[in-house]
Structure 1
């Protein structure tokens, strides 16, 4: 009786299988444990001369993640950028594994680099610990913007407004109505012709930001769509669902610009794909 011997897969086949596994592992690692820097320019004739080349760093959606000892990977990159301002656009902590002290280390390391401005995200609201979060940030010199705006003047007759609003989860209103009312309150004493910057966690409210004639809005929340499909974009994000329109990058509508950070950390979905955590750098440029 003849017996049939099973052929062993050729070594070349195993080599390619291991190569694919190795490449996929590298992509997943890079997309979750390392931090990139993305740079944009915003050009406007409303930007005062004194603010030409004004450099802003945006940090969003940390979600209590750590990147090196004392957040060294983020801190070192921010210091090398030498910004004039640092914006933190919500979800600084994660309500599912709340560790405020761990996230505050990042602020301690950055507090003397540049003025820091902060607004809440939905995760801060969900902790029901807003007072402690705000007090801890303010103790470290952070400007917590709660439906209010600061007019920043570098030289006489050369000012811009930096405003921030609470996440609409804090309101019992529909999100768009809450955002509209918060913006009106924040900028009620700001001249109409002044260049207005808004910090607001939710990118899906871009229509409201444009209708309120905000010149430049910084948002996060979308986590870059969590899994990014090359040539298509993000797969899913809160508030926008499948294939979100505003998951990353810079967008324009009727002269209003929106910058969406992919953020740093993760929350319910613990893994990113083709979606490296990022620090955003925006440079203001005066139209010549």
Structure 2
């Protein structure tokens, strides 16, 4: 009887840990140095949200909205897969956007799931209507005082335009460029193009992160992926990979809490 109770306790404790680890976002902060960053942008705080996949964090996304609001960001980057094409519920994503409208300017790029819905133009229109700057292989300028930095957004390549083509057709316009792209697996293409700082998601943190393993499987990378979480640097290019917030085909994160990424430029 005691052994049975112990087994039941372990099962219940494990289930509770898994549940908690899938509904409680963690904030990860990266201080990133950029060459030629104007003094006006030193200390600029960016919140990156990625791969929501229609997950819900409190009624009307209240918990997620509060967590972002508490960080008082200057900019918010949404790097794709705000919805899930398998259980499409745009309203859950729009609730998050509405709750963040007054917090900071928002910039968005598509992920593969938006493209897969075949309703990507409608999704973009809804986001634009809420004041989000939608970037589809194009740039916007963010100005502070008399200086600007370029924010470039790459449409997910599922739309038919490979990432390297988008980069070739839109070279950097100014001294400082922040690039939003859903895909981390093409890191070498960002390096070749000379991108400075790239914000990506898509990998879901490798889904399972236990016993020192930095992720077991990721879309576009397969088993034991190379790019799952944190900052990767090569030849002057830095790439940030968000672990994301929700799940898609595999319904659970293991040792891999949903992530809000905070980046402070220096």
TM-score by length of 1: 0.89
Residue pairs, 1:1-288, within 5 angstroms: 11=2, 13-14=3-4, 16-156=6-146, 158-171=147-160, 178-187=162-171, 190-191=173-174, 194-285=175-266
Cα offset, 1:50, TM superposition: 0.7
SS in 1 for 2:33: strand
RMSD: 1.3
Cα offset, 1:232, TM superposition: 1.8
Answer with 114-123 or 251-260: which moved more: 251-260
Does the 8 A contact of 1:148 with 1:185 survive in 2? no
Does the 8 A contact of 2:81 with 2:112 survive in 1? yes
Separation in 1 of the partners of 2:265 and 2:18? 33
Separation in 2 of the partners of 1:37 and 1:25? 23
SS in 1 for 2:29: strand
Superposed CA deviations along residues 2-45 of structure 1, whole A, max 9, x for unmatched, are xxxxxxx5x3x345424422331232012211111111110123
Does the 8 A contact of 2:61 with 2:92 survive in 1? no
**Structure of higher CA gyration radius:** 1
Structure 1, unpaired ranges of 5+: 1-8
Does the 8 A contact of 1:57 with 1:83 survive in 2? yes
Structure 2, unpaired ranges of 5+: none
Separation in 2 of the partners of 1:74 and 1:102? 12
Cα offset, 1:230, TM superposition: 2.6
Task: Specify whether residues 70 and 186 from structure 1 end up closer, same or farther in structure 2 by C-alpha distance, changes over 3 A only.
Answer: farther
SS in 2 for 1:228: coil
SS in 2 for 1:63: coil
Separation in 1 of the partners of 2:144 and 2:184? 29
TM-score by length of 2: 0.96
Separation in 2 of the partners of 1:56 and 1:70? 23
Separation in 1 of the partners of 2:141 and 2:168? 15
Does the 8 A contact of 1:27 with 1:274 survive in 2? no
Does the 8 A contact of 2:205 with 2:256 survive in 1? yes
Cα offset, 1:229, TM superposition: 2.2
Does the 8 A contact of 1:163 with 1:187 survive in 2? no
